Amino acid sequence: MDASRRRMMTGTAAALAGSFLAGLLRPGTLLAAWNQRAFDAKNLQDALQALGMDRAVPGRDIVIDAPDAAENAAFVPVQITSRIPGTQSIAVFVDRNPWPHIASFEFAQDTLPFVALRLRVAETSPVRVVVRVGESYYIAMKDVRVVAGGCGGAGAAEAAPVPTRAEPIKIRARLEGGVADLRALVTHPMENGLRTDPAGRSIPNHFIQNLDVRRNGKTVLEAQIGRSVSTNPLFAFKVQGAKAGDRFTLTWRDNKDLTRTDEATVSG
């Protein structure tokens, strides 16, 4: 092998190794592409079709914990648990929102099929959850009654200033019987493009699209987020087999390519 070819191959190998290490050190570089077709769908059926979930069958072992009536439709707390063995993902929808697809969560083997988050709900509507197990899909729903809509107008939170930098994520990781209870509060305006400022000008879209959670460098959860997650999102997840001292890293990226990574160590 001549010297120039040897230098080229060595340089290529070094570049590949560097890219791999950079991915390990910066989780945000590996976040999956956002499913624009599903999140831009204006009705439930189109959103389900975009995700291949339009033939989901009823699933009785999906538990949706949400209020019967939303006191503040801009911050509706929802907890979802799948008791279906082998659950790989959970997708959340609100039928009558301007964009029904709320979020999708993909679980690694050690991550329990549980998620908690806060939603905007535009009007009284079913909240639907679709669970994937292999090539099968299961669906469940719960009706949530709304007094004033939470996607814009009177039910919305006050307009937040446009951030010029990503604020630190507040993460708590607590051990409970071998399961890490992970809760993360993200400071972000989560603007959906429907609201206006005091001068009547439209406030542009600005919302988180991707979330990546890792334990000791290994991905345990990936999520895609839509426009109807509440301002300053609060997420909760559970990872089994954890122990005190494990390090959890959370990375988010929004539609303006603003990103943030923070970490927390599991406390006993």
pTM recorded for the entire structure:
0.84
Q: Do 177 and 154 contact (CB within 8 A), yes or no? A: no
What are the pLDDT digits (tens) for 181-219?
999 999 999 999 998 888 889 999 999 999 999 999 999
> What tokens does 258 get?
């603003």
> What tokens does 183 get?
């809760």
What are the pLDDT digits (tens) for 65-106?
999 999 899 999 999 999 999 999 999 999 999 999 999 999
Q: Do 246 and 216 contact (CB within 8 A), yes or no? A: yes
What are the pLDDT digits (tens) for 6-31?
433 333 333 333 333 333 334 444 46
Question: To the nearest whole number, what is the mean pLDDT of the chain?
Answer: 86
Per-residue exposure over 4-36, b if at least 16 CB sit within 10 Å of its own CB, e if not: eeeeeeeeeeeeeeeeeeeeeeebeeebeeebe
What are the pLDDT digits (tens) for 131-154?
999 999 999 999 999 987 667 643
pLDDT-based confidence at residue 162 (cuts at 50, 70, 90): low
